[in-house]
Structure 1
Amino acid sequence: MRFYFDIRDGDEFTEDDAGVELPDLNAARLQATIALTEMARDYLPRNGDERRLAIHVRTDEGPQLDVTLDYELEHLRKQERS
């Protein structure tokens, strides 16, 4: 079965028009989870204190699942200024 992995990075959306053949939805879930953790390693936290990354998995039949990562950095103490 062909699965498509659309990527959302905040307000940016990239549609997968090629897809990949995988045996089942479990394999697609694993593929999306691995891809999302690699995205997190590359993009977090250097671009601010908040970020939402998501991979939307679909087939020709429609949406199948979403894998989402929300990142938020909360400062608990005020930073000293020099």
Structure 2
Amino acid sequence: MAIYYFDLRDGDEIVPDEEGVELRDLLAVQEEAARALAGLSWDSVQNFKGAQSHRMSIEVRDTYGPVMQVRFVFDISRRQ
């Protein structure tokens, strides 16, 4: 088991994870990153008004450096 840090990138802004989470392997890291990003993106979409585009990602690192990046991009184009 290792400690992984999940830094949030929202557009040009980054919020570093200073606590980290202990996980058993990269599959568990991938699942945790996807779950966190899904929740964050849901909250973000709720605040959209009109046509907009947005990019978010979770950048995962361990004590040795970058491990994985999970990205989410969505566009909203209203027809009316």
Query: Please, what TM-score do these two structures have when normalized by structure 1?
Result: 0.85
Q: Secondary structure at the match of 1:13?
A: strand
Matched residue type, 2:61: R
Q: Any gaps of 5 or more consecutive residues in structure 2? A: none
Computed over aligned residues only, the root mean square deviation of the Cα atoms, in angstroms, reads 1.4
The equivalent position to 1:51 in structure 2, one of 35, 54, 76, is: 54
Deviation at 1:45, TM superposition (A): 5.2
Q: Any gaps of 5 or more consecutive residues in structure 1? A: none
Query: Please, what TM-score do these two structures have when normalized by structure 2?
Result: 0.87
Tell me how far apart the structure 2 counterparts of residues 14 and 35 of structure 1 sit (CA, whole Å): 13
Question: Counterpart in 2 of 1:6?
Answer: 7
- Please say which structure displays the higher CA radius of gyration: 1
Percent identity at matched positions?
38
Moved segments of 4+, more than 2 Å: 45-48
